């Protein structure tokens, strides 16, 4: 529970900074496309239960409230293999839209680092999991958690930029037996590493 308080406090602090600045009416839009490596930091009460990495495309949209503050919506979906002591239990897909409030450091010329914090809502779907004895497994459909981010944009010109980004997202799901009994809570909590390009309007 304590780990989930950290991103919430970070988001609240950034929001407090945003409120007086939002009135400056300097709206600006940025679209980025990234290739991301989603690397779960999985844990549960069952030793050896793990979730595999997955590469995927990611699309995000940022709205700049002023020179330094922006809101970013991140969209991507991935499908992960779940294993038990190295043996595959099947795969499950996740759609984790994430909203982040970002602060951009804009006094370094073409290099513009940023940090962010926000919230993630994950939808788990198309699960095809079963135990080695063939017992089917289910997962809960949704998860809500915090997200933290750090990255850097390098502006090639006024509009085009290159981007590198890392995020940590808190997400989990209940793994259930037939009949709905919970087998374990699976914390997935992935690191998300991304590189890509962007276009600023």
pLDDT at residue number 23: 36
pLDDT at residue number 2: 40
Residue ranges of the chain whose pLDDT lies below 70:
1-27
pLDDT at residue number 178: 93
pLDDT at residue number 35: 98
Instruction: For 162-199, write each residue's pLDDT tens digit.
Output: 999 999 999 999 999 998 899 999 999 999 999 999 99
pLDDT at residue number 117: 98
- Where do the DSSP E strands lie in 23-66? 28-39, 49-51, 54-64
Q: What is the CATH number of domain 2-200?
A: 2.40.160.20
pTM score, two decimals? 0.84
Q: Give backbone dihedrals phi and psi of 178, rounded to 5 degrees, phi first.
A: -55, 135
Residue 48's region, left for phi above 0, alpha for psi from -120 to 50, else beta, is left
- Where do the DSSP E strands lie in the chain? 28-39, 49-51, 54-64, 69-75, 78-84, 87-95, 98-104, 111-130, 136-139, 142-155, 160-169, 172-176, 182-187, 191-200
Domain ranges (residues) in the chain:
2-200
């Amino acid at each position: 529970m304590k780990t989930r308080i950290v991103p919430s406090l970070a988001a609240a602090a950034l929001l407090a900074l945003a409120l007086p600045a939002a009135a400056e009416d300097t709206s600006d839009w940025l679209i980025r496309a990234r290739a991301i490596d989603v690397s779960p930091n999985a844990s549960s009460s069952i030793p050896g239960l793990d979730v595999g990495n997955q590469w995927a495309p990611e699309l995000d949209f940022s709205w700049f409230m002023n020179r330094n503050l922006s809101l970013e919506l991140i969209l991507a979906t991935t499908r992960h293999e779940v294993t038990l002591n190295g043996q595959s239990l099947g795969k499950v897909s996740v759609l984790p839209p994430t909203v982040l409030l970002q602060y951009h450091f804009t006094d370094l010329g073409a290099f513009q680092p940023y940090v962010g914090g926000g919230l993630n809502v994950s939808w788990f779907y198309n699960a095809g999991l079963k135990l080695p004895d063939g017992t089917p497994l289910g997962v809960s459909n949704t998860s809500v958690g915090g997200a933290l981010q750090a990255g850097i944009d390098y502006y090639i010109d006024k509009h085009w930029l290159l981007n590198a980004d890392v995020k940590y997202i808190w997400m989990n799901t209940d793994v259930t037996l037939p009949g709905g009994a919970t087998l374990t809570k699976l914390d997935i909590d992935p690191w998300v590493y991304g590189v890509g390009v962007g276009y600023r309007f």
